[in-house]
Amino acid sequence: MFNTTTTLPNDIQSFDCNFITNNTPNSKLPILVYRNIINKSYLLTEFNQLNESDKISLINETLLKNGWKAEQTWGAYTNTHYHYNVHEAYFITEGSSTLILGLDVNIVPEETTPELLSQSNHIEIEVKYGDLIILPAGTSHCSKSFDEKYKYIAAYPINGPKWKSISKLNLKSISMETIDGYKDIAKEVALPPNDPIYHDSKGGLVDIWNSYI
């Protein structure tokens, strides 16, 4: 699917999101964004004509060779959450969304005043059709705003476990000791074997993330 000879790893954008919060690990590894990766690699009209299952199969033609696997399609999720046990990638297959990343999971944007949100450490990244965003384990994320068409396909390293999610809803039933344990687990999640698009090319995910260790 992906023609990596026309799109080089130096197109990858990197965003620091290593905020210290009470309930969220976040990560010293940066968030990575690959802009317009689908359009650069496949004809827009052909991809959009596929059903969701065929889109996943087509994306997996590249991912499986690189040690990643696309699992399923999701829409906008507005509840701040993180996966402490695995890295996650979003292929944006329809529409657009502004993502909020790095918030404490106790803060849910749609339940929060703009003033409080502005005082809370986080970053915002707009993603749209064709983009790929990779979130290091422990990085909190949710949609702040989105259009009605917004969809993404979630993908994970093949050698990783099934994702586990922590959000504000979980905080009532788990102790701070447990949360601290999640933070420790997130720090120790192994790097993916390869960049999901560029395999082991110089300047790809593995190079970038190794430079932060």
Q: Which of the four pLDDT bands, split at 50, 70 and 90, describes residue 48?
A: confident
Q: What is the tens place of the pLDDT at every residue in 86-100?
A: 999 999 999 999 999
Asked whether residue 4 is assigned to any structural domain, the reply reads no
Average pLDDT over residues 60-68: 91
pLDDT at 8: 53
In contact, 138 and 27? CB cutoff 8 Å: yes
Asked whether residue 143 is assigned to any structural domain, the reply reads yes
Q: Which of the four pLDDT bands, split at 50, 70 and 90, describes residue 82?
A: very high
Q: How many domains does the chain have?
A: 1
pLDDT at 99: 98
Q: Which of 47, 45, 12 is nearest to 31 (CA)?
A: 12
Asked whether residue 1 is assigned to any structural domain, the reply reads no
CATH of the domain at 171: 2.60.120
Q: What is the tens place of the pLDDT at every residue in 179-196?
A: 999 999 999 999 999 999
Asked whether residue 119 is assigned to any structural domain, the reply reads yes
Residues sharing a CB contact under 8 Å with residue 151, sequence separation 6 or more, in sequence order: 52, 73, 74, 75, 92, 93, 94, 95
Domain containing 114 equals 9-210
Residue with the bigger pLDDT between 79 and 1: it is: 79
Q: Which of the four pLDDT bands, split at 50, 70 and 90, describes residue 61?
A: confident
Q: What is the tens place of the pLDDT at every residue in 9-41?
A: 667 999 999 999 999 999 999 999 999 887 666
pLDDT at 84: 98
Is pLDDT at 68 greater than 50 in this prediction?
yes
Asked whether residue 3 is assigned to any structural domain, the reply reads no
Q: Which of 34, 40, 155 is nearest to 89 (CA)?
A: 155
Q: What is the tens place of the pLDDT at every residue in 131-143?
A: 999 999 999 999 9
Strand ordering across the sheet containing 96-101: 123-128, 96-101, 141-146, 81-83, 165-167
Is pLDDT at 166 greater than 50 in this prediction?
yes
pLDDT at 106: 95
